[in-house]
Structure formats: structure tokens, C-alpha cells
Amino acid sequence: MTMIALMPSDSTRRSPASVRADAEDSTLRPAVGIRRLLVTGRIRNTVAIAAGALFVPLFDLGGRAITLFVTRCFAGTGSVAIAAGVAVSLSLLAAALWMYVRYLRVSIEHVTKAIELHSASDDRAPLPERGPSAVLRLTRAIDFTRGRHAARLAELLDSQAAYAHDLQVPLKRMGVRCEALDDLALRRSLTRDLAEMKQLVEASMACARMQCNVEEPPTRVSVDALLSGLIDDYRDAGHCIELEGEVGYSIETCPHALRRVLVNLIDNALRYGSDVRLHLRVEAQAVVFAVLDNGPGIEPSQMEAVFAPWYRAPRTAARAPGSGLGLAIARRLTHAMHGELYLENRLTGGLEARLTLPLIVA
């Protein structure tokens, strides 16, 4: 059988150079059109030439294509026109780049402010998506990372609370067994150690609850009735707390959070002092609660450090037991109520813990 090979003829066969040249010609047709318009006198405006040159990056053919584009656009024109066109092109390109950089900067600043606002209020809502695609991807990545971090933190805190809760049972068994000891001195020592361990366990559970705290919705509250009940509870426990001042009407606040903050402050005052008073006054746009004591006070350099969890001032740590969580929980709850909590040494001795809440009449 005879084999016949079919070979392309000279008319159909094309070299790679000719194919590449045709591709360049087809791509640079806008340049040829602009040159014809220049030759025929229809458009001799250098702004139009510059605008045509700005479309070159859309073809994405590299520097060689740009060179061919400019060469064919300005073929047959004077050097002055070429210089003017290039100058206008660069000016427009610089203006476009400046506008894009400014837009990018504004978008990044917007994301930065949103992150700072969310961090200050412990808000876990997604960040607002705004800006170019790069900023949008950055925002989504930050939201994804924040979500994973929050989930991991919640898991760790749940484990901490579970371990602390499970420790209460063996501690109770050890307390019962201590009562059966005949050695009185040993029994007292073990009882004191068990009491300290129990306090640490309760503090660990309180710390986990504080970190996972869900904000309480504000409701209508009679502050005078709340404080009167609180003072009665302390009186029943054998503590005399003097109350001065009143509001006279109901306000919008978080009753459970307010009571817990005041309990922490009063307990601290009773731990380090004997004469404890609670002063209440109403200002133009705020309600101020002041817990006063006659204790040793706090060093001025330690005023902010005592709000850190587990921290106790060296001056007062040896005077009374404690975990160092009371003030940390009080400030966190105060911020949740959009208030402020400050400490200040009194001139006559002792400490003043001042809680300021916004006045919203119900």
C-alpha cells in the first residue's frame, strides 16, 4: 500500500515570526487608529493621545507592546506633540495612582478604627467590609482569625471552669476528714490550707465567668431600693455599712452587674478597714457611687496595677487573704455598663472607690 504524506503548502504554512507579528498588529490596532486620526487632522488633541496611551496597560503585553504603541501613535508627528502627550499621560497616570493610594489609605484607616472600636467594647460582630479587594480580603481574614481565637478562648475557659468545679468535691472530702484528726494544731493548719485552696478554686471559676461574661440588658431600676436591700444584707451578716444620699427616681441600668460591682467594692473595704461608708450623689449626667474606708490605702504607682486579674498590691497582700480578682471583675462590669471606676487615696486616710454610671432616667 502506498503511503501519501500530506504536507502544508507554502500558502498555508506560516512561520512563528509572522504569527507573532500578526498578533502584535492585531493588538496594536488602537494605535494605528489613533495615528490615522492624527494624520487626517480629526484629532490633534494631546489629551486624547494621552488618554489612548493610558489604555495600553489593559492589553497587558509588557514594555515592548507599550513601546510599539507609543511609536505607532506618534509616528509622523512632531517632537513637541510627542513630549506633550507623554507629559499629559504621566500626569494622568500619577493622578490616578494618587487617587488609588488615597482610597486605599482611607479604607485601611476605616478598618483600623473599626478594629480599635471593637477591641475597646469587646464587640464580636464582624468588621464592616469596605474598600478595594485587597482590603476586603484583609478584613475577612481578620474576622476569621478573631472568630477562631474567640472559639479557642471559650474552649479553654470552659475547661478551666470545669476543672475548678470538679476540684470542689475532693476539697469537701478532705475537709470532712480533717475534722476526724485528733491533733488540734494539725487540724487547724490543714483547715486553713483547704480554705485557701477553696478560695483559689472559686476565684478560678469567677475568672472564667468574667472572661465569658455576657452583657446584661439595661432595665428600669430603683437604685434606692437596691442599695437599701444591699445594706440590709450586710447588716444581717454583722457588718454596719453607712449609706448617705439617694437618687429619688428610677434609672436605666443593669441591676445585677451594679450589685455585683458594689459588693466587690464593699467587700474590699471591709477586708482592709473597719469604718465603711457608701455615698451616693446625682450629677448633671451621671450617678456617682463612692465606697469609703479607713484602711491603709494603695500606693499611687499601684492604682492601675490592682485592676489586673490575680494582682494584689504588696502593701496590703499580707494584711488579708484574697485572690486579686475583685477589682478586675468590678472594672469589667463597669465598662459593660458604660461607666468608669476609679480609686483614690483619701486625705484623712483610707481609700475611695468611685463608680460613675451614666444617668438615664427611666
For the stretch 24-65, pLDDT in tens is 455 455 555 555 544 444 444 444 445 555 554 444 444 455
Q: How far apart are CA 36 and CA 30, in angstroms?
A: 10
Confidence of residue 155 (pLDDT cuts 50, 70, 90): confident
pTM of the predicted model as reported, rounded to 2 decimal places: 0.55
- What does the pLDDT read at residue 274? 82
Choice among 10-19, 108-117, 212-221 with the minimum mean pLDDT: 10-19
Q: What is the spatial distance between Cα 253 and Cα 303, in angstroms, rounded to a whole number?
A: 27
* pLDDT over 90 at 352, yes or no: yes
* pLDDT tens-place string over residues 326-340: 888 888 888 888 899
What is the average pLDDT value for the chain, to the nearest integer? 75
Cα(87)–Cα(46) distance, integer angstroms: 9
Among 96-105, 198-207, 248-257, name the one with the lowest average pLDDT.
Answer: 198-207
Q: Which of 2-16, 89-103, 116-130 bottoms out in mean pLDDT, i.e. has the lowest?
A: 2-16
How far apart are the C-alpha atoms of 195 and 198, rounded to whole Å?
5
Q: At 190, which amino acid appears?
A: L
Distance CA 164, CA 205 (A): 6
Please tell me the predicted confidence (pLDDT) of residue 14. Answer: 52
**What pLDDT is attached to residue 321?**
66
* pLDDT confidence of residue 81: 61
Q: Please tell me the distance from the alpha carbon of residue 187 to that of residue 331, in angstroms, as a whole number.
A: 38
- 185 pLDDT band, cuts 50/70/90, is confident
- Helix (H/G/I), strand (E/B), else coil: 126: coil
User: Is the Cβ–Cβ distance between 294 and 286 less than 8 Å?
Assistant: no
In the predicted model, is pLDDT for residue 208 greater than 80? no
Give the number of other Cβ atoms within 10 Å of residue 27's Cβ.
15
Percent of the chain predicted with pLDDT > 70: 69
Residue matched to cell numbers 437604685: 223
Percent of the chain with pLDDT over 90: 9
Instruction: Note the pLDDT of residue 353.
Output: 93
Whether residue 82 is predicted with pLDDT greater than 80 in this model: the reply is no
Selection from 12-21, 39-48, 99-108, 124-133 with the highest mean pLDDT: 99-108
Give residue-wise pLDDT tens across range 283-313: 888 899 999 998 888 888 888 888 887 777 7
CB 135 within 8 A of CB 108: yes
CA 295 – CA 312 distance, rounded (Å): 15
Which pLDDT score, from 0 to 100, does residue 290 have?
94
Is residue 152 over pLDDT 80? yes
**Selected residue with higher pLDDT from 316 and 284:** 284
- Supply the pLDDT for residue 117: 79
From 86, 83, 69, 79, select the one nearest 35 (Cα to Cα): 69
Residues 262-293 as b/e (b if ≥16 CB within 10 A, e otherwise) read bebbbbbbbbbbeebbbebebeeeebbbbbbb
Q: Are 73 and 35 in contact (CB under 8 A)?
A: yes
Lowest-pLDDT choice from 124-133, 204-213, 263-272, 281-290: 204-213
